[in-house]
Structure 1
Amino acid sequence: MNSELRILVVDDKASFRFLVTEFLADAGYQSAGAGSADEALQELARLPYDLIISDLVMPDADGIELLRTVHRRWPELPFILITAHGSVESAVAAMKEGADDYLLKPLNREELLVVVGRLLENTRIRAGHARMLAAQKEKFSFQNIRSVSPAMGIVLKSAEQVAAHPRTTVAIYGESGVGKEVLARAIHLASGQDLTTFIPVNCAAIPETLLESELFGHVKGAFTGADREREGKCARARTGTLFLDEIGDMPLALQTKLLRLLEERVYEKVGADTPLAADFRVIIATHRNLEERCREGAFRLDLFHRLNTFPLALPPLRERREDIPQLSEHFLGIFRNQQGKHLPGLSSAALNDLCAYDWPGNIRELRNRLEYAAIVTNGELIQPEHLNLGLVSHDKMPAGDRIVVHFDFAADEFSLDAVHGRLTAWAMDRTNQNKSAAARLLKTTRKIFY
């Protein structure tokens, strides 16, 4: 709403200040006047303003001097210069100094309001964009990666160190769902970039015939259907990060071109022979064993060595179970906001099940299970049955139930080890081959199975 916006009008003539402030008031804006540059600076220090409209020619400090001072102190504040001494030279000089627009006296009311409205809308959009980038930076920063695991701590420390070297190629290894892209974004942001220059490419999701064009772009006529020139992901990643996810699935033919990009820091569009600068960092990620892929002939050994400059291996969630309580509360906090419902938290039994489960889908699966539980609960503590983990819980057996186990051995087969083997096999069968649930059933730890 215009009534929430405040505009300062600066002119040494009171009659002109009155005219402009009346135009603005009729359009619903709040406005105030200042008779000199010094008076304007005092007013700006007293109250926040959304726009300045200033005369160019004034006694003492003129409009250009005021513009310079304002931009030093309030660099985002839009500034319009107005003068009766209009010329191309003065307009060019004003714009070079950073004026957002330039108007001539006698002032046209409609033109003034159009310019004011456009500049205020642009400022609103820029402010919204800045808030979005700040929120994204907070969301994906290292500070938002929650872990008390020593193994994870080593990885995060190394990742923060390499973030300070924006030309170093980083290779992130780990199972699906461990957070490889989350770590890649954190490295990118810690390099001083925003997420507009973080460009992800899933090498497994794009058809082989399109992947080269998707990465490098193409010129018009490069292939059937290329009716116009197109920039690729490399161009969009300029000065930032190209994130190649599932690099282990990249076609061999394209691996040669990626190797050249890494070694010579140049690439070419499909159908062109002009080299373009590859001025960005490359971060790759994969759940595959690239050394094994090299032995199979599916991945170039020289490319592997070039990519493996700074390797980071993210541990699976089952190897950092101490992080599960903190991660769970983090995700529940997200779902409280998203769903707008009261979620008091996890029961002890539910938390025990979460910590005992093996998490083949890692953190992604944990989030999904908690989102499911958040939806199906109605204000009570989350219980094991809400998690839908498929565990057999010995704690949930009805009171008075008995467990009868019968093993039949030949005399020469019988031993403590034989009983142990039969008992663990029985527990695994009872719990659908889930070691964590079987250990709970036997009231012991998973070590019994190793």
Structure 2
Amino acid sequence: MEKILIIDDEPFIRENVERILGEDGYQVLAAADGTTASELVSAEEVDLVLLDLNLGKENGLDVLKELKKIEPELLVIVITGYGSVESAVASLKLGAFHYMKKPFKADALRVIVKLALQTTSLKREVRAIRQGALELFEKVPLVGVNSSLKEIIRQAREVARFAEATVLITGESGTGKELIAKSIHHLSDRREAPFIEINCASIPVNLLESELFGHEKGAFTDASARKTGLFEAANKGTIFLDEIGEMDPAMQAKLLRVLESRQIRRVGGTRNIDVDVRVISATNRNLGDAIKSGQFREDLFYRLNVFPIRIPPLRERREDIPVLAAFYLDKYSRAFSRGFHEISGEAKALLSGYNWPGNIRELKNVIEKICIINQGPTLTASHLPPEISGAPTRSARAELPDVETLGLEGAVEAFELEIIRAALDKCGGNVLKTAELLKIPRGTLRYKMGKLGIQP
């Protein structure tokens, strides 16, 4: 139920708005002044505010500024009986959604409130799309013919039916644990809500709690405004905790409380907030060993491991290697206009015989590099790197991209892409460790990855 706050110094207006919107099923809160309004916005999860610009001795614009400090994304509709172009423009510049003049009809109020709340929902949906949260299941490339993959897909379909069940996905780095997590989400009744992922190893320990659970204004030095955490953002949907085995023990205890109570508390907050979220976690570590060494809580393991799914490494399902190679060859050949249409028999045999320590991620990177620096129509053994083809290692000069074809800038980008890909593989996709290996700031690495279209 959406929560709406009416701020007006006239009791009749407050009561009228409460009646009209209450009949439509909204929960309506009321305040006669800015101080009361600020207290309510700080204490409650308000979805929309109706604010009178003339609150007796108070200026509604000052109240609007204060509310925006408390909740920067708060949706506010300004209402007044003394409207002017100047006050309308001023309120819109401060972030008001719309401007209404008194007296207003009940139907007009209903329409603008409904539109405003739909806008809030749309904004959340756009953010989710930007995070890849609403990627269609049909676009998740669960490619292969191996019986173990078919069993994993069957398990994903089965657990998707139970919206509360936690899932623990295990497997080596690069095996596709995130794809299985997305598949479970898109097959479930939660598919219309956000799928939000976080790499637990990539966030510093002192920031992870705020990232997951949010914080209140003033909770710490840089907390200039309230922040919604990822658990709240994923409400009604799914949160994917990748590399859960790297989580700090103190943070493990807090996560355990959330799983047990289905409630979170923001950093610096005093009240619990209900969340309805499916938790899917993943790790490439042996959590049994981590429990024995005291690095992972046994009680948390049992909470996470309600439905375990193990993804085998690529070397255990070799019949899928040519299928995956053909999938990525088609994808990147189209992306780079390289005209590849097939893989030679010799190249297929070499690809299938290689052990792929980096699993699917490594295979994808190899095919992507081939499409960047070569032209089709057939991928042959000569296109494969020496560790796969068995050919002697070529000189650094021979390994450089084709400058004549790509130009200097394109060749530099191709070479940089190769270096970053190799470093990510070495670090198991961990961005923080990769940045340390490359001796560059993490922000610089993320910028380059975004520019080059690299996914960790």
Tell me the TM-score normalised to structure 1 length.
0.58
| Structure possessing the higher radius of gyration over alpha carbons | 1
The equivalent residue for 1:439 is none
User: Aligned letter for 1:208?
Assistant: V
1:205 is matched with 202
Query: In structure 1, the residue corresponding to 2:239 is in which secondary structure?
Result: strand
Deviation by residue 1:134-168 (Cα, 9 ceiling, x = unmatched): 98204445xx4122111111111111100011110
Query: Structure 1 167/387 Cα, relative in aligned 2: closer, same or farther at 3 Å?
Result: same
1:388 aligned to which of 385, 388, 394? 385
Check if 1:159 corresponds to 2:156. Answer: yes
Distance 1:261 1:252 in 2: 15
1:304 aligns to what? Answer: 301
Alpha-carbon distance between aligned partners in 1 of 2:109 and 2:267, rounded to the nearest angstrom: 43
Task: Give, in angstroms, the shift of residue 380 of structure 1.
Answer: 3.7
Name the CA shift for 1:94/1:393 in 2 (closer, same or farther; >3 Å): closer
Query: 2: distance between equivalents of 1:301 and 1:341?
Result: 51
Q: CA RMSD in A?
A: 3.3
Secondary structure, in 3 states, of the residue corresponding to 1:390? helix
Please say if residues 148 and 322 of structure 1, whose CA atoms lie closer than 8 Å, have aligned partners that are also in contact.
yes
1:280 to 2:277 alignment: yes
Aligned to 1:225: 222
Is 1:372 matched with 2:388?
no
Partner of 1:95: 111
Contact kept? 1:369, 1:389, Cα under 8 Å: no
Aligned residue for 1:167, secondary structure, equals coil
Query: What does residue 329 of structure 1 align with?
Result: 326
User: What is aligned with 2:166?
Assistant: 169
Q: 2: distance between equivalents of 1:245 and 1:169? A: 13
1:145 and 1:203, CA in 2 relative to 1: closer, same or farther beyond 3 A?
same
**CA distance in 1: counterparts of 2:271 and 2:128, whole angstroms:** 36
SS of 1:223's partner is coil
1:235 match: 232
| 1:348 matched residue in structure 2 | 345
User: For residues 165-192 of structure 1, what are the alpha-carbon distances to aligned partners after superposition, in whole Å with 9 as ceiling and x for unaligned?
Assistant: 1110000000000000011011111113
Amino acid at match of 1:92: A
Displacement after TM superposition at 1:95 (Å): 3.1
Structure 2: which amino acid aligns with 1:157?
R
Partner-residue secondary structure (3-state), 1:285? strand
Q: What secondary structure does 1:146 align onto?
A: coil
Which whole-Å CA distance do the structure 1 matches of 2:179 and 2:257 have between them? 27
CA contact (8 A) 2:328 2:367 kept: yes
Indicate conservation of the 8 Å contact 1:140/1:185, yes or no. no
CA shift in 2, pair 1:349/1:310, >3 Å: same
CA distance in 2, matches of 1:275, 1:362: 42
Taking the aligned partners of 1:279 and 1:337, their CA distance within structure 2 comes to 41
Q: 1:156 to 1:282 in 2, by over 3 A?
A: same
2: CA distance, partners of 1:217 / 1:150: 42
Residue 137 of structure 1 corresponds to: 136
User: How far apart are the structure 2 equivalents of 1:163 and 1:183?
Assistant: 11
Residues 249 and 297 in structure 2, CA contact (< 8 A), matched pair in contact too: yes
Shift of 1:301: 0.7
Q: Does 1:320 align with 2:317?
A: yes
What does residue 253 of structure 2 align with?
A: 256
* CA–CA separation in structure 2 for the residues paired with 1:294 and 1:125: 41
In the other structure, the counterpart of 1:216 is: 213
Contact 1:146 1:327 in 2 (8 A): yes
* SS class of match (1:372): helix
Q: Which moved more, 1:378-387 or 1:255-264?
A: 378-387
Taking the aligned partners of 2:244 and 2:106, their CA distance within structure 1 comes to 55
Aligned residue pairs, count: 287
Q: What runs of 5+ residues in structure 1 fail to find an aligned partner?
A: 1-86, 102-123, 395-450
What are the within-5 Å matches in structure 2 for residues 187-202 of structure 1?
187-194=184-191, 197-202=194-199
Q: Provide the secondary structure at the position in 2 that maps to 1:200.
A: strand
Residues 335-344 or 178-187, more deviating = 335-344
State percent identity of aligned pairs: 41
AA paired with 1:200? Answer: E
Q: Equivalents in 1 of 2:277, 2:368: separation in Å? A: 36
**Residue number in structure 1 paired with 2:356:** 359
Tell me which residue corresponds to 1:116.
Answer: none
Task: Tell me whether 209-218 or 383-392 shows the greater mean CA deviation.
Answer: 383-392
- Tell me the CA shift for residue 224 of structure 1: 2.1
1:172–1:313 contact (8 Å) kept in structure 2: yes
Three-state SS of the structure 1 residue aligned to 2:379 is: coil
- Alignment CA distance shift 1:389-1:151 (3 Å): farther
The amino acid that maps onto 1:218 is H
Letter of the aligned partner of 1:312 in structure 2? Answer: I
SS at match of 2:295: coil
For the structure 1 residues 389 and 233, does the alpha-carbon distance in structure 2 shift closer, same or farther, using more than 3 Å as the test? farther
Please list the CA deviations of residues 283-329 of structure 1 after superposition, one character each: whole Å capped at 9, or x if unmatched. Answer: 00000001100001000011111111000000100011111121111
Task: Say whether the 8 Å CA contact 1:140–1:186 is kept in structure 2.
Answer: no
Which whole-Å deviations, capped at 9, do the CAs of 1:330-351 have from their partners, x for residues lacking one? 1112112211231122111111
Output the CA distance in 2 between the equivalents of 1:335 and 1:195.
Answer: 29
Contact 2:351 2:388 in 1 (8 A): no
Give the superposition deviation at 1:375: 2.1
Question: 2:200·2:243 contact (CA, 8 Å) conserved in 1?
Answer: yes
Equivalent pair of 1:163/1:187 in contact (CA under 8 Å): yes
Structure 2 counterpart SS, 1:353: helix
Query: Equivalent residue for 1:289?
Result: 286
User: Does the aligned pair in 1 maintain the 2:133–2:195 contact within 8 Å?
Assistant: no
Kept in 2: contact 1:137–1:195 (CA 8 A): no
Distance 1:126 1:273 in 2: 26
Instruction: Determine helix, strand or coil for the equivalent of 1:321.
Output: coil
- CA contact 2:381–2:389 (8 Å) conserved in 1: no
One-letter amino acid matched to 1:210: L
Output one character per residue of 1:353-402: Cα deviation in whole Å (capped at 9) or x when no partner. 110000000001111111111222222411223121424649xxxxxxxx
Name the TM-score, length of structure 2 as normaliser: 0.57
Q: 1:131 to 1:185 in 2, by over 3 A?
A: closer
Distance 1:195 1:378, change over 3 A: farther
